[in-house]
A and B are shown apart, each in its own frame.
Chain A
Amino acid sequence: MRIRITFSKQGALRYTGHLDLHKLWERAARRAELPLAYSQGFHPQPKMNIAAALPLGFSSRCEVLDMRLEQDIQLDGLAVKLNDTMPEGIRVTQIEQVDERAPALQTQVASAEYEVTLKEAGLGSDLKRKIDSIMESESIIRTRRNKEYDLRPLVETLTLIPSPDGKKEKIFMKLTAKEGATGRPEEVLDVLGIAFEETRIERVRLNFQS
């Protein structure tokens, strides 16, 4: 049986990396006595896939994980059971069964949406201008790990969310997240002249190829 779990990752768990998150889920499965399937061989690994690695420090409302089980189980009540023994910061929001033969989860991600909260207020109209300038440009050549790439085509949407009290502004961005073509929010922020540490970034939605 293959199940798909959607969960949030917040608070202290923002500082748990991708590999450690796999470990966290393996333990969660053991606590909930799920018949998690393992690979064969000398070092059996649990059969789990996380849709898209979330950078350290980001929170998320929409992480998605596939897990293969050795037997079919009843999904009713499973979310509650898992949440009972989760660290604060991980909350299962949905569990569904998926077709065993469906393609691997990571290959199906199309784009990711982020909300960036600015810790310091007051960038206002300047920020709006910079955002517009990005969206109007044809290409933004950047260097990452000594390789040049064009950030612009990876930015599908970039807008300013006005805050009701005018204090903490938010930026919304939708970035391409395909294998080999993944836009990184901190790269966009860098173009906007905003230090990554001065923000809170939350992944709010993952879009899959339909």
Chain B
Amino acid sequence: MLTPEQIENKLDHVLLKVQKPGRYVGGELNSTHKDWDNFRTKVAFVFPDIYDIGVSNVGLKILYDQVNQRDDALAERVYSPWLDMEILMRENGIPLYALESKQPLACFDLIGFTLPYETLYTNALNVLDLGGIPIRTVDRDESHPIVIAGGHSTMNPEPMYAFIDAFVIGEGEEVIHDIINAIQKHKDQPGTSRAELLHELAKIPGVYVPTFYEAYYMDDGTLSHIEPTVDDIPKIVTKRLVAKLPPPPTKFIVPNIDIVHNRVSVEIMRGCTRGCRFCHAGMITRPVRERTVDEVLEAAKIAIKNTGFEELALLSLSSSDYSNVLELVTKVGEQFDGKHLKVSLPSLRIESVSIDLMEKLKEKRSGGFTLAPEAATERMRRIINKFVPDEEVIDTTREIYRRGWTTIKLYFMIGHPSETLEDVQAIADLCKRVIEEGRKVIGWKAKLNAGVSTFVPKSQTPFQWVSCDTPEQIRAKQALLRRELGRDKNIKLSLTDAEDSFLEAWLSRGDRRMAEVVYSAWEKGSRFDAWREGKKYSAWIEAFEEQGLDPLFYTHRQRRTDEVFPWEHITAAVRKNFLFQDFRMSLEGEIRVDCRLNCFACGILPIFAQTRRENPGEGWKCPDVKSPAPKVVSKSTHQLPVVGD
């Protein structure tokens, strides 16, 4: 294996031949450089997309800090090399290496991938290949690192089951330590096998080791059941969650080149109580846990001092729902006024209060104001459980133009269940009304950016049963929008590529058989599937053919109400019967209100009753659990009730 010095020498000969060589050299302020030989466990965290996208990821930043705070472990970072660099690395025999030490990936004990979205799957395979690590779990032996993965898309881990030794379901802050401890214990017992270590990992709550589970299929290709092959691991793996959010990271990596989010990000709240039925994040990150205003403010101050970044982002799934949002923005606005700092507060509700909040932040009005109505007819809004009347949209946007913003961004989705062309026409009509109102207020300066993406049904949500729109339907809907909105020079319409959405949709509800499709697509050159330069749609279609699988089986099929899903043995602690009830309500156009107002027993409290009991009060936005604890608490082996019972 090459030494870091040899790798650096080779890099010296290739770096000036690639775009943005700064992606491959590390050396950033606040990166942690620990002495390689003095730490027992070496962890490489991988964001399998380019540096420019990966650096600002908050999830990996949290884990990087968690591990580097240990005195027996070190953590380093790895990103996917862009296409030009990959060619040169392969030509020159340069293995993929970590940015801090320049040690090859294969020298680490633990490789931790984050897989927030499905289009990174082929990249993950490519990272392993470039790192000289066997791509398939079964081909790895004692000499290879343990490969783990977490992130939102792993709520259905099955399409990646053949490549990842262990998945972390849910929040990683605590479980990463359990995993490192297990690896160290394993090292202390020479002669124990990799299989024994994996078995130990499978016993950690929230850790799913696919090798120890078998999937059985029915004749129609759906699942019959999924079962552990050993008896001391959970039948159903329940996500991990942290009862109280730990202090937010403040030593963000400051890149030496331009990246996508040059900013300090402070998570003000995790989870969302809104219950939008299409929203994966909203279902899988429950319960809502808030940080205090003081904690957020303090972290923001320290992080800006540590980094000098020009932007501060206050992150959550729904900023308006943060309990003390007015106090927070007032204090943040005062703290950073006149410091040439942009503060962003994403995901605001469509109401005039949101404008007051943005004004408090002294947000530069040049930036544009973003709102997400998602749908434009009452029927559709009821189906997706995001109910914002047209008048609210019109009044709010008129007020935004009136108070000095010239650009408004509106996000919509097409392809919601049972959506018709009339529902899509309504999106166009609403956009036209918004811009007309804008013109009345500020004339031709008024601009509207309409971002219309295509809905992809996700596992662990109320829409996990629904069929996707066909390519013809999507194209017809996109054509309608282009026809209706393309002529107005002040409206900028952006649509997502229909093929991208299908790729995401095959994988989001895929089963284990999809793993061979992923492998084959990668082998045929597919990677960077979210990038125009990378993805090869034809490779995916060929891969499906080779495996004798029909892509439409995964996307264009209404699931039976009693269907066993490929992710049946994984739970985000929101019960299947809750999701099913919510799905039924969507068919009836029934709304469920914000669950801060009324607990609907989604499953979080029943499953995490003990955790809540130990952490009462305002931290969670779920009701307190006052009932006494049952005598025997079995945290990880509880059974999910099946639909209909």
Give chain A's interface residues, CB within 8 Å of chain B.
11-13, 15-17, 19-20, 23-24, 26-31, 33, 36, 38, 42-44, 46, 56-57, 85-89, 119, 196-198, 200
Interface size classification for chain B = 20 to 34
Contact of B339 with A by CB under 8 A: yes
Contact of B17 with A by CB under 8 A: yes
Known contacts: A12-B256, A15-B21, A87-B254. The answer to whether A27 contacts B310 by CB under 8 A is yes
Bound Cα distance from A119 to B310, whole angstroms: 39
Which of A20, A197, A198 lies in contact with B256, CB distance below 8 A? A20
Known contacts: A27-B309, A27-B310. The answer to whether A17 contacts B29 by CB under 8 A is no
Bound Cα distance from A155 to B12, whole angstroms: 27
Instruction: Say whether B25 contacts A27, CB under 8 Å.
Output: no
On chain A, the residues within 8 Å of B22 by CB distance are 12, 15-17, 20
Interface 1/0s, chain B 521-551, versus A by CB < 8 A? Answer: 0000000000000000000000000000000
On chain B, the residues within 8 Å of A88 by CB distance are 27
Instruction: Say whether A15 contacts B25, CB under 8 Å.
Output: yes
10 tightest A-B contacts by CB?
A12-B27, A27-B308, A30-B308, A12-B25, A31-B308, A15-B22, A16-B256, A15-B21, A87-B29, A57-B16
Closest to A29 in B: B308
On chain A, the residues within 8 Å of B341 by CB distance are 30
CB distance from A58 to the nearest CB of B (A): 10
On chain B, the residues within 8 Å of A42 by CB distance are 364, 366
Bound Cα distance from A23 to B28, whole angstroms: 13
Bound Cα distance from A181 to B448, whole angstroms: 46
CB proximity to A under 8 Å, residues B308-350 = 308-310, 339-341
Which of A19, A28, A30, A119 lies in contact with B258, CB distance below 8 A? A19
On chain A, the residues within 8 Å of B131 by CB distance are none
Instruction: Say whether A27 contacts B340, CB under 8 Å.
Output: no
Known contacts: A38-B340, A43-B366. The answer to whether A15 contacts B15 by CB under 8 A is yes
Which one of B288-296, B299-307, B378-386 contacts A? B299-307
Contact of B257 with A by CB under 8 A: yes
Bound Cα distance from A31 to B254, whole angstroms: 12
Instruction: Say whether A26 contacts B17, CB under 8 Å.
Output: no
Interface 1/0s, chain B 1-41, versus A by CB < 8 A? Answer: 00000000000110111000110111111000000000000
Instruction: Say whether B258 contacts A57, CB under 8 Å.
Output: no
Q: Could you give 22 example pairs across A and B, Cβ below 8 Å?
A: A12-B25, A15-B21, A15-B22, A15-B25, A16-B257, A20-B257, A27-B310, A28-B308, A30-B340, A31-B305, A31-B306, A31-B308, A42-B364, A43-B366, A44-B340, A57-B16, A86-B29, A87-B29, A87-B256, A197-B16, A197-B17, A200-B12
Instruction: Say whether B21 contacts A23, CB under 8 Å.
Output: no
Closest to B27 in A: A12
On chain A, the residues within 8 Å of B310 by CB distance are 23, 26-27, 30
On chain B, the residues within 8 Å of A28 by CB distance are 308
Instruction: Say whether B28 contacts A57, CB under 8 Å.
Output: no
Bound Cα distance from A33 to B13, whole angstroms: 39
Instruction: Say whether B16 contacts A30, CB under 8 Å.
Output: no
On chain B, the residues within 8 Å of A197 by CB distance are 13, 16-17
CB distance from B98 to the nearest CB of A (A): 14
Instruction: Say whether B256 contacts A13, CB under 8 Å.
Output: yes
Closest to B309 in A: A27
Instruction: Say whether A13 contacts B258, CB under 8 Å.
Output: no
Instruction: Say whether B21 contacts A56, CB under 8 Å.
Output: yes
Known contacts: A30-B304, A31-B308, A197-B17. The answer to whether A15 contacts B340 by CB under 8 A is no
On chain A, the residues within 8 Å of B366 by CB distance are 42-43
Q: Which of B21, B306, B339, B341 has the most CB of A within 10 A?
A: B21
On chain A, the residues within 8 Å of B340 by CB distance are 30, 36, 38, 44, 46
CB distance from A118 to the nearest CB of B (A): 13
Known contacts: A16-B256, A56-B21. The answer to whether A196 contacts B27 by CB under 8 A is no
Q: Which of A11, A15, A42, A200 has the most CB of B within 10 A?
A: A15
Known contacts: A87-B27, A196-B16. The answer to whether A20 contacts B308 by CB under 8 A is no
Interface 1/0s, chain B 565-577, versus A by CB < 8 A? Answer: 0000000000000
Bound Cα distance from A19 to B262, whole angstroms: 14
CB distance from A73 to the nearest CB of B (A): 16
Closest to B305 in A: A31
Bound Cα distance from A200 to B11, whole angstroms: 13
Instruction: Say whether B256 contacts A30, CB under 8 Å.
Output: no
On chain B, the residues within 8 Å of A87 by CB distance are 27-29, 254, 256
CB distance from A123 to the nearest CB of B (A): 17
On chain A, the residues within 8 Å of B16 by CB distance are 56-57, 196-197
Which of A44, A89, A119 lies in contact with B27, CB distance below 8 A? A89
Bound Cα distance from A31 to B307, whole angstroms: 6
Bound Cα distance from A86 to B305, whole angstroms: 13
CB distance from B10 to the nearest CB of A (A): 12
Instruction: Say whether A23 contacts B258, CB under 8 Å.
Output: yes
On chain B, the residues within 8 Å of A16 by CB distance are 22, 256-257
CB distance from A55 to the nearest CB of B (A): 9
On chain B, the residues within 8 Å of A46 by CB distance are 340
CB distance from B364 to the nearest CB of A (A): 8
On chain B, the residues within 8 Å of A26 by CB distance are 308, 310
